[in-house]
Structure 1
């Protein structure tokens, strides 16, 4: 077994919440420990090993960063029947995929910037798969060997732009603007993604409540499908789709995406300022 495969197997066996953070401008990875008050620092990064450095940081003394550093982001649209119903569409014949640029990523506590010319911007709470090792032509039964863990995501979407783009078979600006891909707060390893509860709240009100058991294309099939056509790389993020209940956000709103075993991704919406 290769070192990468051994590390993937290790992460599957144990539940670890990996946090990426900065101390005095230096970036580290660590394990967020019980009580969420302390971080046991790792040596290196989680893609090459999970050994501890022998140092503990207090959460109050660090800056928590997005769990992934400039990832490629793959998105799956219409992957819950409930969301297909609310958008009055048919079940797609093939998975509907898109990408978001790495510059769309922000972390827990960061702002979602409402575009100056925005008219209708929506939240979309999602389970996000974090790729742990290079993957190509992976069978669904083998997918878990290539997954580092999971995090929460918010596929923020400018619907007006999205609809105009989609009319011509493209999709970039509607999904890919700066701050339109909040991720976090941690990468949770060792989870079974087949039945996790997902809740999205806006200003404390529950807007989405679902289970990943309702995904039309389950996580192993998602990884297998993408790897059939392209090479997945360590640190890639795969947004698995959103359930019904998506809706508008405005400056001043607080959006929370909570997924069982991972935690709460919380972001405030602010108006764009030049």
Structure 2
């Protein structure tokens, strides 16, 4: 396996390869891994995410899967990197983590069979599909403001090539405490299926990213919290939560809400509320 990262080196975004504790640029410059300023390891033209995929998450949400995956889109402006801040806008409360594995496309993919999808995958990285559930009442269908705000798509620390996704653990920790603990064997639709499914109608270009779902126990985090997603063979993606300097504007658009649906989604899938429609999970 080989791991490639993208860092800020002497003021410029540079692709580097990891060699143990060093990151090595193509021109021979080196920087220690723990001293590097990390950027998103890829610059995709699109980020596509599956709603539900892991069995534990489906069970937690007390729902059933459709016959085929459903998806939503994160804008590329949501990207950030390893060790970067994730910003919760002032005036919002319900920011949840979702540890995930991100598929990185290596070759243009269009109308391919699942059996051939692996040939179009460059490698894998770790993602955290943060969601701002304050906007769930208005954006539950598109998930645009729920999942698309600036900094809500950390990726990293690097892209690992030659990694086999089968039978790997995925865990999320908050302030060192284990919150999510799953395995890729829980996935209903594997990485190759997801790539082939999307590529039936949407051309996937090199660098594009597909987020493959999260296990159970997505919960709310707060400014000051440190969130780590650890995936066997891919390393650890670490981010910290900060509060934004300005509140959501009140003179335009839908405002943050705190309905029973918002609270039940943000706080867990035990559905302690009665008489409400179960929200669409992700």
Structure 2: where are the runs of 5+ without partners? 247-282
**SS of the residue 2:242 aligns to:** strand
Shift in alpha-carbon separation, 1:161–1:23, aligned structure 2, 3 A: same
Aligned residue number for residue 261 of structure 1? 233
Deviation per CA, 1:47-95: give whole Å up to 9, x if none: xxxxxx4443444664221101254110001111211121222212321
Structure 1: where are the runs of 5+ without partners? 1-14, 43-52
Aligned residue number for residue 4 of structure 1? none
Alpha-carbon distance between aligned partners in 2 of 1:201 and 1:73, rounded to the nearest angstrom: 24
Correspondent of 2:193 among 212, 221, 224 = 221
Deviation per CA, 1:209-235: give whole Å up to 9, x if none: 111111111011011101111100111
Aligned residue number for residue 46 of structure 1? none
Alpha-carbon distance between aligned partners in 1 of 2:127 and 2:51, rounded to the nearest angstrom: 14
**Range that drifts further, 57-66 or 17-26:** 57-66
Alpha-carbon distance between aligned partners in 2 of 1:54 and 1:119, rounded to the nearest angstrom: 45
Alpha-carbon distance between aligned partners in 1 of 2:35 and 2:55, rounded to the nearest angstrom: 43
Aligned residue number for residue 199 of structure 1? 171
Aligned residue number for residue 233 of structure 1? 205
**SS of the residue 2:200 aligns to:** helix
Q: Does 1:19 align with 2:9?
A: no
**Range that drifts further, 53-62 or 78-87:** 53-62
Aligned residue number for residue 50 of structure 1? none
Shift of 1:252: 0.7
Alpha-carbon distance between aligned partners in 1 of 2:34 and 2:59, rounded to the nearest angstrom: 44
TM-score, normalising length: structure 1 = 0.86
1:194–1:219 CA contact under 8 A, matched in 2? no
Aligned residue number for residue 101 of structure 2? 127
**SS of the residue 1:229 aligns to:** coil
TM-score, normalising length: structure 2 = 0.83
Deviation per CA, 1:109-161: give whole Å up to 9, x if none: 11011121212111000010011111101111111111111011000011231
Q: Does 1:99 align with 2:73?
A: yes
Aligned residue number for residue 147 of structure 1? 121
Alpha-carbon distance between aligned partners in 2 of 1:272 and 1:195, rounded to the nearest angstrom: 38
**SS of the residue 2:146 aligns to:** helix
Q: Does 1:165 align with 2:139?
A: yes
Q: Does 1:211 align with 2:197?
A: no
Alpha-carbon distance between aligned partners in 2 of 1:74 and 1:153, rounded to the nearest angstrom: 12
Aligned residue number for residue 84 of structure 2? 110
Aligned residue number for residue 149 of structure 2? 177
**SS of the residue 2:118 aligns to:** helix
Q: Does 1:271 align with 2:234?
A: no
Shift of 1:273: 0.8
Aligned residue number for residue 279 of structure 2? none
Aligned residue number for residue 277 of structure 2? none
Q: What's the Cα RMSD here?
A: 1.5
**SS of the residue 1:130 aligns to:** strand
1:19–1:185 CA contact under 8 A, matched in 2? yes
